[in-house]
Amino acid sequence: MDTTDDDLASTRTALNPMLDATAAILPWISQTPTARFPPELNKRWQSAWAEFADTWRQHGSNDPARFRRSAMLIMSIALESADADCLGLAESLASTADHLEHKTPGNRLQAALHALCDVMLDTSDKHLPQGLEHPHLNERLRHFRDRLETALRPSGKPGERSDVLDRLFVEDAEERLAHMRESLETLPIDIYGIAEECEALIQHAEQIEMWGIYHLGRTVHHLALQLYDASEADLDRAADAIGAQLDLLQQALHAIEY
């Protein structure tokens, strides 16, 4: 079927509104978003974060004075930006600097700082503006402000235990638990070995007020004491009960955060 001039004309007429609308929005699509901050300020912001990341990665908490200088540089630029989220994160970094002058950073604080450095230096998406102009900057700043504040809060652990102390306790307890399982698998059950390891675990748990572990350990120890003079048949029947209590101990140890 041949296309006539009238057909072409009617097609053009039908398409004209769509073509006009497309032409109208093309300038908006190609237009570069208006910068929120002066380019020079954005450049200094990115340089400050590069310096901060280098300070943390190279020196960690071993040079709190250098950490503070890097944090204060970010604070000064945040003040110039007059952006509430920039200031909020800068204040959290200042609090972190105070913390590092007196205490060793816990695992959560270290993880937060490492992640912060990675995100603030991320330039993987070349199509997005970087630094202060990044479209997700404020969301990221709020996230890390909250994360740092959470990591800096005093521990809710009894006696203000340190993360290091908790880790050492868990490592020791897991080793003793492994020995108890080995004693449980011998024929006949080495009930004395279980009682001895469990008694040591109970004492350590009491010293650092790990009361959940303490009471679970007491249950295992009580079972063991009842079986001191038991026959082999009774010991075999008790093996499942002891094993179940050891499983509960294992779960409780895995739940300890440090």
Residue 15 lies in a domain: no
Residues 207 and 129 in one domain: no
Q: What number is the average pLDDT over the span 170-196?
A: 91
The answer on pLDDT for 61 being more than 70 is: yes
**Is 191 within 8 Å of 183 (Cβ atoms)?**
yes
Residue 17 lies in a domain: no
Which of 34-38, 67-71, 112-116, 181-185 has the largest mean confidence? 67-71
Between 9 and 201, the higher pLDDT residue: 201
Residues 139 and 112 in one domain: yes
What does the pLDDT read at residue 111?
84
CA separation, residue 255 to residues 4, 57, 67, 117, 198 (Å): 79, 29, 33, 28, 19
Label residue 223 exposed, middle or buried (CB < 10 Å: 0-12, 13-18, 19+): middle
CA gap 69, 71 in Å, rounded:
5
Residue 24 lies in a domain: no
Token output for 76: 């000064």
CB neighbours of 121 closer than 8 A, spacing ≥ 6? Answer: 49, 50, 53
Residue 11 lies in a domain: no
pTM of the model: 0.52
Q: What number is the average pLDDT over the span 85-111?
A: 90
Q: What number is the average pLDDT over the span 84-102?
A: 94
* Tally of domains in the chain: 2
Q: Which residues form the domain of 171?
A: 160-254
What does the pLDDT read at residue 28?
45
Residues 47 and 116 in one domain: yes
Residues 165 and 223 in one domain: yes
Q: What number is the average pLDDT over the span 229-254?
A: 85
The whole-angstrom distance between residue 257's C-alpha and the CA centroid of its chain comes to: 12
Token output for 253: 């140890």
What does the pLDDT read at residue 21?
61
**Is 191 within 8 Å of 227 (Cβ atoms)?**
yes
Please work out, in degrees rounded to the nearest 5, the angle formed at the alpha carbon of residue 146 by the alpha carbons of 66 and 44.
45
**Is 144 within 8 Å of 92 (Cβ atoms)?**
yes
Measured in Å, how far apart are the chain's first and last C-alpha atoms?
Answer: 79
The answer on pLDDT for 176 being more than 70 is: yes
> Nearest CA to 236 among 167, 186, 172, 192?
186
Residues 59 and 137 in one domain: yes
